[in-house]
Chains A and B, each alone.
Chain A
Amino acid sequence: MDTHKGVLVVGEITEGKLAPITIELLGAGRKLANELGEELSILLMGSKAGGLGQEGIAYGADHVYVAEDTLLDQYNSEAYTQVAAELCRKALPSIMLLGYTDVGCDLAPRLNGRLGGGLAMDCLALSVDPATKLLVSTRPVFGGNAQATIVSKVARPQMATVRLKTMPPAERNDSRQGKVIPVEGKIDPSALKVKVVERIKEETEGVKLEDAEVVVSGGRGIGSAQNWGMIKELALALGGAVGATRPACDEGWASVSLQIGQSGKVVSPKLYIAVALSGAMSHISGHLGSKYIVAINKDKDANIFSVAHFGIVGDYKEIVPALTAKLKELKSK
């Protein structure tokens, strides 16, 4: 096992820059590497990845592995798996970190399957056990009702995908030194059995859910598509985004792309307003990172009040329009 050393982050590039999750992973990876007294590396894939080498170093990487290939410009499950697996077999990292993102959710399990490592998905915390020097990953289980710590005693690499915005981003230091190492190795195009036919971006009205500072969510209690308009208006008044619980999406009041929770999106806005939703753990786990949570619910015993900072017990049909009106009034002043 001593054959495996160091922490390797699999980076993501969005719009020519390191993705925010990657900077957060570098921050977490740096901490782990320091505790182990080992090095931190990052793998960047894409035809222009080399240009980001210095940035990777500035954010804390000792080595930046760069795999430049146009086949890697957009995420391709098999191509990414091949390159990353190949690198792992050579660099033999002890710990490997990915984001719990579209890429990480697909790549990490696959890579793990190929490498035979030990993977924990959707981690909220990472640490090194001082005694065993093993990676301890904390992740929600049972729809967020509980948290489990996961350890890989023998399998290597120890892998984790990390939830967005759960770890502080690395600080940039342009004076840091490090090496940019090109990754040799060709992708076998015949192995790319799954072809991407098209990628469709869905324009969301208003603010994007993941980026929103304010999210207003509704649940099954809203009762009808017509009343769903109240949620939208409140979000609009706050300049925020609309979210929904699974039942609300199932009812068709909101598009599934707005679903927040275990099987939907994870958000951590400054303010999260939960309207007429009881607070199933599988939903709550998707917005627990919010700075302030406000609950509006008819049932004073609803679980959502156990995680909310502020709440009103009452009929949302009376409260939400009044709240929207008052907020508009305050804004206009």
Chain B
Amino acid sequence: MNTIVCVKQVLDPEIPPAKFKIDPEAKQVIPPAGVPPVISVYDERAVEAACRLKDKHKGKITVISMGSAKAADVIKHAISMGADDGFVLQDPAFENLDSFGTAYVLSKAIQKIGGYDLILCGRQAADWGAGQVGSILAEILGLPVVTLACAIEAVDKKLKVKRMVSDGYEVLEAPMPSLVTVSSEIGLPRLPGGMGLMMARKKQIPIWKAKDIGAEPSQLDKAKAHTEVTGLSVPTRKTECEIIAGGTPGEAAANLALKISKLI
């Protein structure tokens, strides 16, 4: 089965919170120096889901990422995990697109690639986390969609998807092709093996511009954006933490117990 995975390169979410700085005017985050961007965690798990399907059913995994030319790194990462092919979608017209614009660009690239049985996206990006590109993409492509998958299997030309809900899970059956968004419950992504690292090292990642995928400028018009970020701020938390002391750790714990018993 052939899978297309959409991935995004994001600011490393594991940077220490104290190092998180923004430019409120530009409504952008200022990435700290010396911190390489990473593949968005959920997208990495989407790649993992694709690789697990490939392990069982063979087929081809194609990865696309819209972003800067550096996004080739995350494509290479996906290839090192087991993907076969990848493309970076980079064009000045693609910068700062909203979810609809992003989904539109991805849909054009996916149509160009064609021949897919499954499209995978992360449930949301680890940076702006709009949480809707996958669903909009499915609407554009006219595909059935299952969100928040924690396991995907292919059985008799159909997809069996386990979806997380708050008090358990549901098992859904979807036709092929469908679009599935993947949640972190799918499990830890694999560490790229030797073969994967080799493949990634050798692979050239082509860059597709707007004209390569036939993206209409009218669809990328920022004046027509569906949503706009009008403000960005780092919330100030004025919590004063009272450190409970004690001669020994046991005493401190007892003092805390007294405090707690009054709170509840």
Contact = CB atoms under 8 A, between A and B. Distances in A.
A331 B257 CA distance: 10
B228 A153 contact: yes
Interface in B4-50: 11, 13-14, 16-18, 20, 22, 27, 29, 41-42
Contacts of B129: 121-122, 140-143, 262
B138 A327 contact: no
Interface residues of A, number: 92
A214 interface: yes
Nearest to B22: A146
Interface in A246-275: 246, 250, 256-257, 259, 262-265, 270-271, 273
Given A120-B227, A148-B128, A310 B17 contact: no
Given A142-B29, A147-B235, A256 B150 contact: yes
A187 to B, nearest CB: 15
B20 A110 contact: no
A255 to B, nearest CB: 9
Contacts, number: 271
Interface in A142-169: 142-143, 145-155
Interface stretch (B111-119, B159-167, B193-201, B209-217): B159-167
Nearest to A77: B145
B227 A310 contact: no
A110 B138 contact: yes
Interface string A182-206: 0000000000011111111110000
B132 A112 contact: yes
Interface string A318-333: 1110110011001100
Interface stretch (A29-37, A47-55, A56-64, A290-298): A290-298
A311 B230 CA distance: 36
Contacts of A142: 11, 13, 20, 29, 127-129
Interface in A94-120: 101-102, 105-106, 108-110, 112-114, 116-120
Interface of A: 77-78, 101-102, 105-106, 108-110, 112-114, 116-122, 136, 140-143, 145-155, 193-202, 208, 210, 213-214, 238, 246, 250, 256-257, 259, 262-265, 270-271, 273, 279-282, 291-295, 303, 305-315, 318-320, 322-323, 326-327, 330-331
